[in-house]
Amino acid sequence: MKFTVSSSALLSVLSMTGKVINNKSSLPILEHFLMELKDGVLRVTASDSETTLIGTLEVENVEQEGMVAAPAKVLLDVLKECSEMPLTFDVNENTWEIKITWHSGGSSVPGANPVSYPTNKTLAEDKTEVTMDVDTLVNGINKTIFATADDDFKPMMNGVFFNIEQNGITYVATDGHKLVKFTTEHSGEQAASFILPKKPANLLKTMLLKEEEDVTVSFDKSNAVFTLKNYILICRLIEGDYPNYNAVIPAGNPNKILIDRIEFLNGIKRVAVCANSATNLIRLDVADNKLTLTAQDVNFYVSANESLNCSYDGTPISIGFKSIFLVEILSNIETPTVLVELADSTRAGVFKPVYDDAQSSSTLMLLMPMIISA
């Protein structure tokens, strides 16, 4: 195996695919990149056994095709120190030594036999395949992933739920305290659903920022394949039934607050400094177009309050929320104005972005309240 390639182009592919690799793996071979050169295309595969990412790069100067397992950390460290220049890779297929040379020097890296690298998972014949708009897909992941859980006892909540219907796609994430539901238009022929784990979802979020073309998503009951222009992401899905999220969303909270999102967010951050470090509780009192934020920590004799102007339609109400959850929700809404819908101090609050014109998508964020003292 011998070829010449741009150092920066190769580093770009290796840096992206390398995000899959764990610092310590039970299989030493998974600390390597699988590099395969065929028909002028270099395929770089990285895997942690659950998630596999394949990157492709066209190579013009090919002397000999082949494949090798290259140590990921060493190879990345070498390439990071190379400015833009042509690099020649020469692999000895008897010893698996990888010689990398450039105009003024070179290095030698110990490779490994690629035969022991795990093969990629294949989907069942009855797989489902859909095409998704790249902007819609990245928005769906961006708006929901922060609300996923880290719960070993409820693994279904540790990912983003994709509910695909004939006229739309709904993305949902919840950790039991907060919930996000993002719905967008979609034209399809069949209904299907799956739960995408957090790690591949984060990888997709990064990869899609540079993608312009539609993404093909294929999946069965156990695995999913996301096909992009220069990358293929293969991952094991979270199996099981996702919680009935619609059952916890209030049908109609009568008390409605319209408020400047940035002022609300900054006010929470200022007041939260004095909140109890164990509970992070902030109290909201709303009446007469005024929202008052209050926090205190009786153990340290500190307290804070702030009053904000708002437009309020409803009866006076007091409710408590965890400040860090409020900050997360408001930080993941992009509009200048936010609508907060409340019922009473014991039922969930609903947060929605307020747009000036009609949208082809809708976002709903729900937050469970905390008990406040009278």
- 330 located within any domain: yes
Distance CA 272, CA 266 (A): 10
Distance CA 184, CA 164 (A): 10
Q: Please indicate, yes or no, whether residues 167 and 112 belong to a single structural domain of this protein.
A: no
Residues of the domain holding 261: 249-367
Domain boundary among 90, 116, 142: 116
Q: How many domains does the chain have?
A: 3
- 123 located within any domain: no
- 196 located within any domain: yes
Burial class (CB in 10 A: 0-12, 13-18, 19+), 364: middle
- 254 located within any domain: yes
Counts for the chain of helices (H) and strands (E), in that order: 6, 26
Distance CA 291, CA 141 (A): 31
Q: Please indicate, yes or no, whether residues 94 and 141 belong to a single structural domain of this protein.
A: no
How many C-beta neighbours within 10 Å does residue 315 have?
Answer: 11
- 122 located within any domain: no
Domain boundary among 116, 146, 172: 116
- 157 located within any domain: yes
- 209 located within any domain: yes
- Residue at token pair 């294949």: 122
- For 335, list phi and psi in degrees, rounded to 5: -85, 155
Q: Please indicate, yes or no, whether residues 210 and 140 belong to a single structural domain of this protein.
A: yes
Domain boundary among 202, 229, 247: 247
DSSP 179-248: EEEEEEE---SS-EEEEEEHHHHHHHHHHHTT--S-EEEEE-SSEEEEE-SSEEEEEEPPPSPPP-GGGG
Residue closest to 368 by CA, chosen among 177, 106, 232, 237: 177
- Residue at token pair 């040379």: 101
DSSP 341-364: EE--TTS-EEEEEE-SS--SEEEE
- 276 located within any domain: yes
Q: Please indicate, yes or no, whether residues 16 and 109 belong to a single structural domain of this protein.
A: yes
Q: Please indicate, yes or no, whether residues 163 and 183 belong to a single structural domain of this protein.
A: yes
Residues 6+ apart with CB under 8 A from 152: none
How many C-beta neighbours within 10 Å does residue 129 have?
Answer: 13
Distance CA 136, CA 27 (A): 36
Q: Please indicate, yes or no, whether residues 153 and 168 belong to a single structural domain of this protein.
A: yes
Side chain identity at residue 107, one-letter code: S
Q: What is the CATH number of the domain that holds 182?
A: 3.10.150.10
Q: Would you write out the chain's pLDDT as a tens digit for each of its 374 residues?
A: 999 999 999 999 999 999 999 988 889 999 999 999 999 999 999 999 999 999 999 998 999 999 999 999 999 999 999 989 999 999 999 999 999 999 999 999 999 999 999 999 899 999 999 999 999 999 999 999 999 999 999 999 999 999 999 889 999 999 999 999 999 988 777 889 999 999 999 999 999 988 999 999 999 999 999 999 999 999 999 999 999 999 999 988 999 999 999 999 999 999 999 999 999 999 999 999 999 999 999 888 999 999 999 999 999 999 999 999 999 999 999 999 999 999 999 999 999 999 999 888 999 999 999 998 75
Q: Please indicate, yes or no, whether residues 75 and 41 belong to a single structural domain of this protein.
A: yes
Q: Please indicate, yes or no, whether residues 16 and 64 belong to a single structural domain of this protein.
A: yes
Q: Please indicate, yes or no, whether residues 87 and 147 belong to a single structural domain of this protein.
A: no
Q: Please indicate, yes or no, whether residues 243 and 255 belong to a single structural domain of this protein.
A: no
Provide the terminal-to-terminal Cα distance of the chain, rounded to the nearest Å: 74
Q: Please indicate, yes or no, whether residues 107 and 149 belong to a single structural domain of this protein.
A: no
* 217 to 119, 166, 194: CA distances (angstroms): 20, 15, 11
Q: Please indicate, yes or no, whether residues 260 and 335 belong to a single structural domain of this protein.
A: yes
